Structure 1
Amino acid sequence: MIYLDYQATTPLAPEALKAMLPWLEQGHANPHSPHRAGRQARAAVEVARDQVAALLPTGGRVVFTSGATEALNWAIKGVSGGIVTTAIEHAAVLDTARATGRPLTVLPVDGEGLVTPESMAEGTALVAAMLVNNEIGTIQPIAALAGHAHRVGAWMLCDAVQGYGRIAIPDGVDLVALSAHKIHGPKGIGALWIRDGITLPPLLHGGDQEGGRSGTLSPALCAGFGAAARLMATHAEADRVHVERLWTLAVERLGPDWTVNGSTTRRYHGNLNVRREGLDVARLMSDCRDIAFSAGSACASGSGRTSHVLTALGLNGAQAKSSIRLGFGRYTTEAELLQALDQLVTAAKVQRP
């Protein structure tokens, strides 16, 4: 199997697995217990917290959660006024914002998937936007959005799930949602970074183990998250160069019959969303079943719905449904990427020469 679905999840880094194993095999103490074993587990959690925080702005704290969905829900449900977001956000933002019943403004994007920052209405309490879009890789002007938010006294929530460790997070943000399994860490853990001075009402009630968030932490998951974050820092330049090389190879190999969806420049190049006229994506997946790729967000796969991200760009239903997403990164080799692309191109040409 050739794995080209990095936006859905990334392969677990061997170093992250190694960091987790002691806490899975022997370090079974509750990190919130006062005895020595508990304190040792707690120390591992705090080391991981520092490792995750190292790639975030200063002047805030990292609170571990079960994942980015919990982090986003906590941030969005924790405000009491109007919410502003964009038309291409993840369902964890859009659905949660709608569920609050509070005034909601959804900003449109242009044909490249970019939002134009604009003045916010009085009464806006939160502006929420992705740093890097999960379907098309567009990099949003988060700093400019934060500036508009702060002028009306609103907080800026950055969904940095796809961009953390890859794209710098502006200092002007107030809340940042993260997910370990999108940076070669384990599934089941994420984080919410909260700027100093901000207090959110609890989403989960109980033991208040994280100072606003209740639930027993897993030292193993925390350690894996921390190790993955550390690798994102130490491998940043090598990862960037590798991804740029893969992007160039992929665009050249696909050729003029394929059109890139979204911006080609204001974009994280480990995300390649392309379309081909008349392509039957379901058939392509069946014909190329030894390649893991996506027709859109993994969270919406199987729903039969047209991608709201692609339609927000102005694509019609047929264009959106003839699109695929290829995601690659640190552990993708040039050889396997080219092999997969040749298979995809050949299979697509059989459908429609």
Structure 2
Amino acid sequence: MTGRVYLDYNATAPLRPEAREAMIAAMDVLGNPSSVHSEGRAAKAVVDKARGQVARLMGCYPDDLVFTGSATEAAALAIPEFATVSGSEVEHDAVAAWINHPDWDVDKNGKLTGTFRGQPLTESIWDDLVAVQAANSETGVLQNTMPIAQSLWALKRDVKILVDGVQAIGKIPFSTDRSGADYLMASAHKIGGPKGIGALYVKRGLSTAPRIPGGGQEMGRRSGTENIVGIAGFGAAAEAAARDLKDGVWDRVAKLRNILEKAIEAASKHTILVGKGADRLPNTTCFITPGWKGETQVMVMDLAGFAISAGSACSSGKVKSSRVLKAMGYDDTEAASAIRVSLGPQTTEDDVLRFAETWLKAEQKFHAKAA
């Protein structure tokens, strides 16, 4: 009954033992991957092995992957300079920052409705690129990206599709070919790899928009000496994540998420479970207690020994209503009163029940003071 409980896997997952071991081994590899001597070839072998491991998890060829410093950089690499980009307000900040036309309509669950400013979606898009997330980091709601791609293909539009796969990859069966993506972002630390390393899938025949010119590493798509330690950790984490999927680990996590939500629903008449009517990631629950600020809830639970979030990690520290929840139709008060609890393979039923008990006591105190 002692010790802290980590329930913020969507922000970052604990480093997997396999990733740590691979990184420690890579630290002893001397060469530069671009060098042709034996030491250089040994370093390149580390990168090539990891590229294959990540590619297998993502369902693509190794040469289709570009290693980057983050998924945020991967998004920038995919978007040409001066390109026009369309998308919705439920996209992550790393992608939303590039969107010129955030006018895709979403329903109360945050799912794309198929309309753009009230007009049929694919008939209204004349941008260079469209951005669609596979899974929302705040709510866990899943988007089916393939129908959008198929509609654009049918209309023969020269529009490329950037899919944000950061939260989906490693948690649900997912692959580049089933996503319809021309470009797809991934991040190591969301699957138990190290922070500071990401990847971009680039569909064969397409180019990227390199933001860092120089030595022409990563097949000329991203210059700079490769971070072989981070890449090795990414590869090992990807292999372990693929094994977890095969072994049904996330099915167990989904059951824990359901136990948590049932406990909250049974004891709280004020709480709104966000996106419960939609397909979601197996580990994510987002709920709103109107008037009780999310930041306050995070601090209360932190003092009680639980790590949770009031939104996506890139927005933490900003006292404002969730842009995602407002797009889904929640008002400012509701959107500012949400928390996200995201579980992982290491979460136990005891963790979930302890959290529910502690949070419900805190909620009762909040309403007693507000009365």
Q: What band does the TM-score fall into relative to the shorter chain? A: over 0.9
Number of residues paired by the alignment? 346
Shift, 1:79, TM fit: 6.2
Paired residues for 1:138-153 under 5 Å:
138-150=141-153, 151=155, 152-153=157-158
- Counterpart of 1:195, as a letter, is K
Of 248, 259, 270 in structure 1, the residue corresponding to residue 258 of structure 2 is 248
The change in CA–CA distance for 1:120 and 1:180 in structure 2 (over 3 A counts) is farther
Does 2:107 match 1:110? yes
What's 1:226 paired with?
235
- Counterpart of 1:62, as a letter, is L
Deviates more, 1:65-74 or 1:197-206: 197-206
- Counterpart of 1:29, as a letter, is G
Segments of 5+ residues of structure 1 without an aligned counterpart are: 99-103
CA distance in 2: counterparts of 1:45 and 1:281, whole angstroms: 41
Say which SS state the counterpart of residue 235 (structure 1) adopts: helix
**2:50·2:231 contact (CA, 8 Å) conserved in 1?**
yes
What's 2:207 paired with?
199
Does 2:166 match 1:157? no
The change in CA–CA distance for 1:126 and 1:280 in structure 2 (over 3 A counts) is closer
The change in CA–CA distance for 1:85 and 1:283 in structure 2 (over 3 A counts) is closer
Does 2:345 match 1:337? no
Shift, 1:245, TM fit: 1.3
Shift, 1:305, TM fit: 1.8
CA distance in 2: counterparts of 1:247 and 1:340, whole angstroms: 12
**1:81·1:123 contact (CA, 8 Å) conserved in 2?**
no
What's 1:238 paired with?
248
**1:127·1:156 contact (CA, 8 Å) conserved in 2?**
yes
- Counterpart of 1:342, as a letter, is E
**2:86·2:130 contact (CA, 8 Å) conserved in 1?**
yes
Shift, 1:277, TM fit: 3.1
Cα displacement string for residues 49-95 of structure 1 (whole angstroms, at most 9, x for unaligned residues):
0011112244661110001000001112x265432211100111111
**1:48·1:225 contact (CA, 8 Å) conserved in 2?**
yes
Shift, 1:38, TM fit: 1.5
CA distance in 2: counterparts of 1:337 and 1:36, whole angstroms: 51
Deviates more, 1:31-40 or 1:52-61: 52-61
The change in CA–CA distance for 1:75 and 1:120 in structure 2 (over 3 A counts) is farther
Cα displacement string for residues 155-198 of structure 1 (whole angstroms, at most 9, x for unaligned residues):
11110000012232325211110000001110010000001000
Paired residues for 1:264-283 under 5 Å:
264-283=277-296
Paired residues for 1:1-353 under 5 Å:
1-24=4-27, 26-58=28-60, 61-76=64-79, 78=80, 81-98=83-100, 104-117=101-114, 118-121=121-124, 123-150=126-153, 151=155, 152-167=157-172, 168-169=174-175, 170-211=178-219, 212-236=221-245, 237-256=247-266, 257=268, 258-289=271-302, 290-353=305-368
CA distance in 1: counterparts of 2:140 and 2:293, whole angstroms: 23
CA distance in 1: counterparts of 2:236 and 2:344, whole angstroms: 17
CA distance in 2: counterparts of 1:73 and 1:190, whole angstroms: 12
Structural RMSD (CA): 1.7
The change in CA–CA distance for 1:119 and 1:303 in structure 2 (over 3 A counts) is same
Shift, 1:146, TM fit: 1.2
**1:186·1:225 contact (CA, 8 Å) conserved in 2?**
yes
Shift, 1:105, TM fit: 4.7
Cα displacement string for residues 83-124 of structure 1 (whole angstroms, at most 9, x for unaligned residues):
2211100111111234xxxxx353021000000232244632
Question: Which ranges of 4 or more aligned residues in structure 1 deviate by more than 6 Å?
Answer: none
Segments of 5+ residues of structure 2 without an aligned counterpart are: 115-120
